[in-house]
Amino acid sequence: MSITPKPFALAVPDQEIADLRDRLRLTRFPDQAPGEPWAYGTDLGWMRDLVAYWRDGFDWRAQEARLNAFPQFTAPLSGIDVHFLHVPGKGDKPLPLLLSHGWPGSVFEFLDIIPRLTDPARFGGDPADAFTVVAPSLPGFGLSFKPGQARFGAEEIADCFAELMTGVLGYDRFGAQGGDWGSFISSRLAYAHPEHVAGIHLNLMPLPRDPAAFADPNAEEKRYFEEMAVFMKEETGYQSIQGTRPQTLAYGLTDSPAGLAAWIAEKFRIWSDCGGDVESVFTKDELLANIGLYWFTGAIGSSFWPYYSRMHRPWPIPPGGTVDVPMGYCEFPREILRPPRSLAERTYKDIRRWSVMDHGGHFAAMEHPDELAHEVREFFRPLRAG
């Protein structure tokens, strides 16, 4: 039976916005631990300022309007209603491109890059490089969540998105791009559904994080393993709790908007190329649009599920498995991990483009939409004809 997507527009009820402001007004703040600001997590002074702005200055309706300026739809897939943006390209033969976000992101990450992909001529590019962009909310995230629905790992999300692209939208051949969980999803799509995937472009390299999996490392690989050891010690506490006790953490972050904001905003600071000043890269409005989507949908608990799945299953590309479709990669200097190409080549057997950028971080589509859009266009240009 064919599935007809339903048009969608976001409209949070007024009473939910009023409830949020009441909760923000009653925020109970912790004290500030001794030492440098941000040394032990989100800084108290910065959080007081963010909460005050969220309560008294932030315009959620303006952010809704930004999202609603793009054509959006929902479709029943894999037992849930999947939300997605579907933006036609402006060119003779736009290539369908699936954009997959990650955690703690959302489709708000893509609002600046989508026009650069769908209408490159508007930004000084070639109309022949246009894409038709499909940008779903990951199942369990934001507008692809309802209480009580099934939980999805990267493998199920990839299968769901393959059905969205081929069975619902009728794109038998498409490209995929993503960072964070989007890189896992794009890679799994290419592994499990290679007949439909023209190529994948990643801005995070999703390789196993066990040095024992890579025998006889060279000097560059040893450097990477040393960096990874620091990351695993200092920066993965959120993964451990989200991947082992997601339900317990969900109570606090679903009930407290300040807690939710502190949990998410810290990642935007530490993972971006901001030099310690998160607002030098992201405005409060950009941060709160993304945080607000988690708040109003109540989806923070279900968004943890890919972490639980990852910690309790084998790696999404099984041992000995390879991704054989063309792959492009864009390494940003403040990405959380930056594996060398020699390690990536063990899994990705057809690397066509490997770009090392001189600035930028984990949230590349928000931080540097022009540069990332350029890399995506350059990678897919020779793959368009099939």
Q: Is 307 a catalytic residue?
A: yes
What is residue 386's predicted lDDT score, i.e. its pLDDT? 66
* % pLDDT > 90, the chain: 94
For the purposes of burial, counting CB atoms within 10 Å of the CB of 350, is it exposed (0-12), middle (13-18) or buried (19 or more)?
A: middle
| Mean pLDDT of all residues belonging to the chain | 96
The 10 Å Cβ neighbour count of residue 374 is 18
Compute the distance between CA of residue 279 and CA of residue 287 in angstroms, rounded to an integer.
Answer: 9
Tell me the two tokens of residue 215.
């025998």
Which superfamily does CATH assign the domain made up of 6-383 to?
A: Alpha/Beta hydrolase fold, catalytic domain (3.40.50.1820)
Tell me how far CA of residue 355 lies from CA of 203, 237, 375, in angstroms: 10, 30, 8
Is the pLDDT reported for residue 1 higher than 80? Answer: no
- Name the packing angle between helices 44-56 and 257-270 (round to 10°): 120
Instruction: Say if CB 327 and CB 199 are below 8 A apart.
Output: yes
Compute the distance between CA of residue 306 and CA of residue 300 in angstroms, rounded to an integer.
Answer: 12
pLDDT in tens, 9-57: 999 999 999 999 999 999 999 999 999 999 999 999 999 999 999 999 9
Q: Is 362 a catalytic residue?
A: yes
Given 224, 294, 307, 329, the catalytic residue: 307
**pTM as predicted:** 0.96
Given 112, 119, 129, 180, the catalytic residue: 180
Is the pLDDT reported for residue 139 higher than 90? Answer: yes
Compute the distance between CA of residue 318 and CA of residue 194 in angstroms, rounded to an integer.
Answer: 15
Q: Is 193 a catalytic residue?
A: no
User: Which strand (E) or helix (H) includes residue 76?
Assistant: strand 72-77
In this prediction, residue 215 has a pLDDT band, given cuts at 50, 70 and 90, of confident
What is residue 216's predicted lDDT score, i.e. its pLDDT? 83
